[in-house]
Structures are given as structure tokens and as C-alpha cells.
Copies of this chain bind each other. A is one copy, B any other.
Amino acid sequence: MQNSFTEENYLKIIHALSGREGLEVSTNALAESTSTRAASVTDMLRKLAEKGLIHYKKYQGVRLTEAGEKVAINVIRKHRLWEVFLVEKLGFGWDEVHDIAEELEHIPSDHLVERLDAFLGHPRFDPHGDPIPDAKGNLTEPDYLVLTDVQIGEKVRMMGVLDHAPSFLQHLDRAGITLGSVIEIREINEYDKSASVQINENHTLFISLEVSKNLLVQRR
């Protein structure tokens, strides 16, 4: 049988919270992420376990089964493809697409996803730099580093963000930092750990530690 909008969301969130290592996710963490109460989460977990989508033992937290992982990754694939569509084809800003993609990701139709993927030219990354799983569900997280791990004097390329909040993305827009920007760390200010960086060999500015922690970059 089919999975509901809500079930898909739980699976997607379990995937996100369990991280690369597939760690156990707690009931409270899910309640937080789904904006529901722990009791509601417990009910849903029992249901997902019954459907064979998660491994669940009372009080022990949850992990996705293979089947659950497959569903979650397909939802992520759809989410990211729709985000590419919204930005590349409809001209939305990268700060505007998340909520709409949250809806579109649940439209069922494999046929639709595959045609959308082809229409977009089989993109490998979404507008925030997140990798798009392929049709078979292969999702390889590129091993970018966080800007805080970059040494003074190094030049790196901006490849993604950890925080997807519109306010953060808009802040980057104002700073002239976009995917592909070249960032050179000039110095770290003792006072507030902010960094002086040069963007695209071009303009220089301060970015706060908070911002640095949320920028994914690649050595070149």
C-alpha cells in the first residue's frame, strides 16, 4: 500500500536526524522536528514499524529499514529536483523554494520524477548544494568541509550550506556569497572569532563565526 504525506515526512526526518551513520533517533527529537508531541510520535512509530519501514523497539529509538530508507531517499530526490526546477526554470530565489518543495515532494508518480529529472538535465546538486540522489537511490554526500576548518591564507570554493533558513540565505545574498564563490580567509579576529574573507578575488568583508559554521566549502 501507499505511504501518506505524513508518513513520508516522518521517514524523511528520521533519515535527516540519523545522519550518515544511521544512528538511532529519539522520540523527542522527532516530536521537535515534526512540531508534534512525543505521544503522537510514538503512535506513528508503531505504525511505521508495522509497515516495515523502521526498526523500532520501545524506549530504544528508531532507525530506518532498507525499505524505509528507499522511501526517504525518494522523497529527498523529489524535493531537490523540484527545488532545481523552481530556481532554474521559474526564477525563484534559493531562499524561497523550501516550503513549496515540501509540498511538491509528496506528489506521487515515478514517471513524473524521471521526466522532470531529464527536463532539468539530470542535475547532481540542488540550489543549496545538496546532492540529488539518482533514480536508483544512490546518494553520495560529497565530503565538503565547514569554513571554520579552513586555515588562514587558504582559498576555497563555496559548495553548500548547512542552514537552509531563508534569513541565512538572504544574508549570503547580501554578502555576495553564492554557490561557486571563491572564498579566501584573510584573518580571524580574536575578539569575536569573525573572519575577514575575500570573495571572488574581489571584495572583502567580515563574516561571523555563526555564518562560517554554516558554509560548506571545498579545497581547490
Does the CB pair A103–B92 fall under 8 Å?
no
Residue in contact with A90 in the complex, picked from B92, B108, B115, CB distance below 8 Å: B115
Please name the residue on chain B nearest to A106 by beta carbon: B103
B-facing residues in A108-125 (Cβ within 8 Å): 108-109, 111-112, 115-116, 119
Does the CB pair A115–B92 fall under 8 Å?
yes
Q: How many residues of A contact B (CB 8 A)?
A: 18
Q: What chain B residues lie within 8 Å of A220 (beta carbons)?
A: none
Q: What chain B residues lie within 8 Å of A92 (beta carbons)?
A: 111, 115
Min CB gap A200→B, angstroms: 29
Q: What chain B residues lie within 8 Å of A90 (beta carbons)?
A: 112, 115-116, 119
Q: What chain B residues lie within 8 Å of A112 (beta carbons)?
A: 86, 90, 100
Interface flag for A91 (CB, 8 Å): yes
Please name the residue on chain B nearest to A109 by beta carbon: B100
| Bound complex: CA A92 to CA B112 (Å) | 9
| Bound complex: CA A96 to CA B114 (Å) | 14
Interface flag for A104 (CB, 8 Å): yes
| Bound complex: CA A208 to CA B91 (Å) | 47
Interface flag for A175 (CB, 8 Å): no
Over the window 76-110 of chain A, the binary record of Cβ atoms lying under 8 Å from chain B Cβ atoms (1 yes, 0 no) is 00000000001001111000100110011001110
A: which residues have CB within 8 A of B? Answer: 86, 89-92, 96, 99-100, 103-104, 107-109, 111-112, 115-116, 119
